[in-house]
Structure 1
Amino acid sequence: MGSIDRYIFRTVLASFAVVLISLTGVIWITQALRGIDLMTSQGQTILTFLGVTSLAIPVLVLVIAPIALMIAIAHTLTKLATDSEIIVMNAAGLSPIRLFRPFLFATLVVSLLVAVISFYLAPDGLRRLKRWDTEITADILTNILQPGRFAQLDQNLTIRIKERQPGGLLVGIFVDDRRDPKERNTIIADHGTILKNNDGSFLILEDGNLQRFETGKTDPAMVAFGRYAFDMSKFSNRSSQDVTYDIRERYLWELLAPPANDPLYKQMPRQFSAELNDRLMAPLYPFAFAGLTFAFLGSPRTTRQSRNFSMGNAIAAVFGLRTAGFACSVTAVKSDLATPLQYFLLFAAIGGSVFIISRGIVLEPPAKFIEAINRSNARLARLFRRPATA
C-alpha cells in the first residue's frame, strides 16, 4: 500500500469511526431512555441500567455501519475534490479504479466488522439482554420490592412495603390486586416475610385486613386476619435456564442447521430462512454503499463543476437500496421472490458501480437539464431583484 493509499485509507476509517460513534451514541441514548424505568420502578443501579441498555449497541452498529461508511467516503472524496487532489491524481495517471483501491480496503475492514457483529455479536448481545432481564425479574420479591416504592408486578397488581428489617422482615405491606375482573382485593398488613418451598414462593402477611370489592355490590367485604399467604410463584420462579431465544437471538450456525425438534423452527421455518439471508447479506451492504458513493463522487471534476447533483444521487441510490432491502426482508416470510430480488439488487449495485468506476464514466446531469436550471435561477434572480434605491 503506497503513501496515497495509506493517506486515503486512514482518512476514510477515521471519518467512519467518528460518524459511527456519533450516530450510534445519539440513537442509543434515545433507545436507552425508554428503559429508564429499570432504575425507577425496579430499583436497579445506574451500572445495571447502562449494562443492560448497552447490550443493544451491536444491533444498532449493524444498521448504522454501512451508512457511516457511505458518509465517510463521501466526506473523503469531497475533501479530495475541494483540494483538487483528485484532479492532480488523475493527471498523474491514477485511474478511477486505481483510486478506488484504498476505499475498497477500508470497505473490507467495515465489512468484516459487520460480519462479526451479524454472525455473533448482535445475537449474543440480544441473548445476554434477555438473560439479564430474566435474572433481574426472576427473584422479584428481593429485587423489585423496594422500601417506599409502588412496584407494579403485573398490569393489575401493585405492592408496596414501608421498610425492610433484619432477618427478612417486611414492615407496612400494601397489596392492590385487580387481576380478577369480577373483584378487587386490597390487603394491608403490619408485617410479613417471604417463604419459599417446593410449592412455590409466598408472601406471608401477618396482622392485617383484606377488603374485597365485588362487581355489583356497593359495600366491600372486610376480613381481618392474623396470617395470610399471598402466592407469588408466578413472579419469582423464573429461571434464566428456561429462556427461549427468539430467531434474532440465534447464532448464524443455529440458523444454518436448526435442530429438527426445535419447536420455534417447526412453527416458523420461513422466518429462519429470512433471518439467515439477512445475516449473510449484511456484510455485502458496505461494498454496495461504497461502490455507489464512489461511482457518483469519485470522478475528477473541476472546482467549477457542482457536486450537489452527484451527492444527491448517491444519497438517493443508497437510501433506495437500503429501503428495498428492508422491504424484501419483511416480505421474504410470505414471498419466495423477495430474497432472490434482494440478492439481485445488491449484486446489481456492486456490479454496476464497478463497471462505472472501471470505465471512468462521469455521472452528470444532461446539459439541457443544467441549462434549464440556470435559466430558471436567472429568472428567479431577476424576479426577486430589489430595485435600486436613490
Structure 2
Amino acid sequence: MTDDLVGRREQLAAAMKQCGAWPADSPWLREAMAALPRDAFALDRLWRWDGHAYVPLDRATDPAGWADELYAGPDAAAVTQVTDGLPSSSLSAPAVVADMLDSLRLEPGHTVWDIGTGQGWSCALAAWRTGPGLVVSTEIDEELAALARQRLTAAGVDAGVLVGNGTDTAPPGGPFDRIHATYAVETVPYGWIEAARPGGRIVYPWGRLGHVALTVAADGRSASGWVQGLGQFMADRSGPLRAPTGYTTVRGTGGPDTERVVERDLLPLADNWDLRFAVRVAVPDAVVITGRDEDGVNAWIHDGNASWAALSARGDGNAVLFQGGPRRIGDELLTAWSQWEVNDRPTPYDYGVTVTPERQWVWLREPSLDLGS
C-alpha cells in the first residue's frame, strides 16, 4: 500500500504541473505537499457519491478504492464526513488548497489563524512554511479536532488545534499576520478583521463559489481585496449557507404562478463560469442546477426557502420560464445575466469585496463601483 501511495502522490504532482496548478509565486507549496502528503491527514473512511447517496470507502477493506477517491485529481475534494446524508467535512481539492495558500502570501515567521481545522492538512502546510508554533487552528467539531491533533503530531508538525467556533470567537495569540478560513461564509465576520494585524491578509471561501483575499487597512478598521479564483467549500455550520432545501421540496406539488417564453439559449448557464459567478454575485442565495436533454440545456433555480424557477429548453434556442413562490427568482437570474453582458462579461477576477464595521459590499473592477452587500 505504501508503494501505491507514493505512486499516487507522484501522479498528482504531475497532474498539478500539467494543468498549471502549482503557483509560480509559491514554489514552497510543492515541497510542502511532498513532505506532508494528503494521505497522512485523510480519515480511514472516505465517502463517494454513487449517484443516489454517499457510500463509505474504508481504507482497511478497500485500500485501492480509498486511494482512488483521495487522489482523484487536482480539482477533486475527498468527503471525510457525512451528516444526515450530506457532506459536512472534506479534504479540499489539492489545486484549490494550493491556490488559497498562494493567495495568503505566507512567509516564514508569520503568525496564522487557520479557521476550520478539518483533518489538519491546510494547517500543516501553513506551519511548514511559517515555522513551529506559529499556526493556531480552530475547529467546531471536537472529534475532528482530536483527529487533526493526532495527525499533526504523527507528521511532526508543531501547530495548535483548539475547539471553538471560529465564526464568532478568535483564539489567543492575535493579532495574526494571516487568517485562513477553510469553510464558506457569505458575509465576513468583522471579528476576523479585528483579529488580524493592519496590513494582514485574510483568505476565505466566499459563499457557494469562489475565494477572496482581503488586506486589512493600516488603521485596522476595514479590509478590502479581490476575488482570487473559483472553488466550492463546505459552508459555515452555524451560518445561513448550510446545505439548502432541495429544489423538489421548495417547488412542492403545485403548478407555476407564471409561465413565459425566454429568448435565450441556456448553454452559457451550464458552461460559462464567468456568467455563473456573476449570477452568484447578483443573486447570492440562488441555487442553480443545470442538465441537458435532446432539446438543449435546462435549468432549475431555487432559494432554499419558498421561491423556485425552471427554464425548459424548447429545442429552438429559446426556453420556457416557469416560476413560483413569493419572489421571481428566475427573473432575478435573467436580469443578472443581462447585466453581466452590459458590463462586458467580467470574469471572477474583476470582482472584489470590502468589509467595514457597518457593512460589506461587492464591487466590480474598482471599489467605487459598489454592487451592494
TM-score range, shorter chain: under 0.3
User: Which protein, 1 or 2, shows the higher relative CO under an 8 Å CA cutoff with sep ≥ 6?
Assistant: 1
Larger radius of gyration: 1
Higher strand share: 2
With normalisation by structure 1, the TM-score equals: 0.25
